Amino acid sequence: MTLNEIIKIVGGKSYKEKDISIKDIKTDSRKIKHGDLFIALKGKNYNGNNYVEDAIKKGAVACISSDISSDKCIKVDDTYESLFNIARYIRSKSNIPLIAITGSNGKTTTKDLIAHILSSRYNVLRNKENNNNLIGVSKTLFNLNDKHEIIVMELGSNHPGEISKLSLMCMPDLSVITNIGSSHLEYFKTRKNIYKEKLSIIDGMVNKKLIVNGDDKYLKKTHGYKCGLLSRCDLKAYDIFEDINKVTFKIKLDKEYKITFNNPGKHFVNDILLAIKVSIDYGIKMKTIIKKIASFKLIDKRMNLVKCGSNVIINDCYNSSYESVIAGLNYLSKLPGGRVIIIADILELGKHSNRIHKKINKKVKKINKDLVLTIGKYSKKIKGIHFKNNEDLIKYLECCPIKNSYIYVKGSRRMNLDEIVDYLKS
């Protein structure tokens, strides 16, 4: 891509040298290399315009800025819109398929599992971890090259309108919706609004080919191929068996197949079904799908079992929602021996925070547990020993060490429960 193309795409004002080739596009000035283009994004806690000079010194051929006019800057009204337009242009120049995944829970696991299976046949481009917002999705598309044969993209949202915009950027050939939960209720107000947001993933699609969780209260009414446990689903799981380390189930296609998922948690079955259907649609044989599912490992901090002395830590602190907490507690309730729950606030629930944490307390009461430790403002609603912060909880554990127990650790990412897990491991 040349600077001349960039100027046309973003509609900005620029200096006279327009035919320079762009090696890469960056939004972090610390990662700039010679020949890159730097886009100066501006947010609540950062202002990329402050680093334009640094980017140029490091070898940026040009910068896109909303604040600075110079012979090295392309001046635009909105750098985020420029980011969107460049990423959309890159996507539009490629004719390879793009699979988009959204939902309240399970979208990262579903995305990673789909990419893992498809990698048996294709060179796959996917967004890493949960880099699923405008910046993360754009940066992923910036990495698109001629070697890639298929794109698997997770689309996330915590404010209305974001999924639609990402869909218009990505122009998916097929979209997947995992479920409609309570995440980000602070901004969406109701689950119906969350449903509308997730369904807007079809806005950038041409053929509107949709695969959804058919067990979900909202998605079961949506037009599309349905995967789930209920009889009305097109692809159904049955004979589900769960033990400490794995989940097995069966499905019926041309014949009966047994699926083994070597990770804990029955709640992943719906995500696996979605991945199976997508993989079949893109020509992967069931024999290969079964092998790839069996070899798949969940990302760090997502239902990871860690043996530490006489304890087993169930590290599920990647992030949190009401639905994922309940799923984790259901798993814990079936384990033998001592059970300890360490739980921190679910954030971004707004006026629903107290109500949802009270609902979690009802679930906790039903579990035969030895100890409940809670952290944060809203987790006070869960009956147990409460702490203001991680440091205070760690001091308690120093005095009262846990032994011979399964320890379930769960909370929103900003609660930094990694600190607790690291202490338990030490």
pLDDT over threshold 80, residue 69: no
**Phi-psi label, residue 197: left if phi above 0, alpha if psi -120 to 50, beta otherwise:** alpha
Domains defined for the chain, CATH in brackets: 3-76 (3.40.1390.10), 94-295 (3.40.1190.10), 304-425 (3.90.190.20)
Positive/negative CA dihedral, 264, 140, 216, 278: negative
pLDDT over threshold 80, residue 14: no
Beta bridge mates, 176? 101, 211
Minimal CA–CA distance to 264: which of 327, 317, 308?
A: 327
C-alpha to C-alpha distance for 277 and 328, rounded to whole angstroms:
25
C-alpha to C-alpha distance for 15 and 18, rounded to whole angstroms:
7
Q: How confident is the model at residue 179 (pLDDT cuts 50, 70, 90)?
A: very high
| Average pLDDT for the chain | 95
pLDDT over threshold 60, residue 366: yes
Percent of the chain with pLDDT over 70: 99
In this prediction, residue 130 carries a pLDDT of 79
Tokens 């760690």 belong to residue: 394
In this prediction, residue 295 carries a pLDDT of 98
Helix%, strand%, coil% for the chain, nearest 5: 40, 20, 40
C-alpha to C-alpha distance for 78 and 202, rounded to whole angstroms:
25
In this prediction, residue 16 carries a pLDDT of 57
Structure tokens that stand for 325 in this block: 């907490």
More confident residue, 276 or 16: 276
Render pLDDT for 184-236 as a digit per residue (tens, 0 to 9).
Answer: 999 999 999 999 999 999 999 988 899 999 999 999 989 999 999 999 999 99
C-alpha to C-alpha distance for 362 and 222, rounded to whole angstroms:
31
pTM summary value: 0.95
C-alpha to C-alpha distance for 387 and 299, rounded to whole angstroms:
28
Is residue 379 classed as helix, strand or coil in its secondary structure?
Answer: helix
Angle between helix axes 107-118 and 269-281 (nearest 10 degrees) is 40
Cα dist from 425 to 311, 317, 338, 421, whole Å: 9, 14, 18, 6
User: Taking residues 313-326, what's their average pLDDT?
Assistant: 96
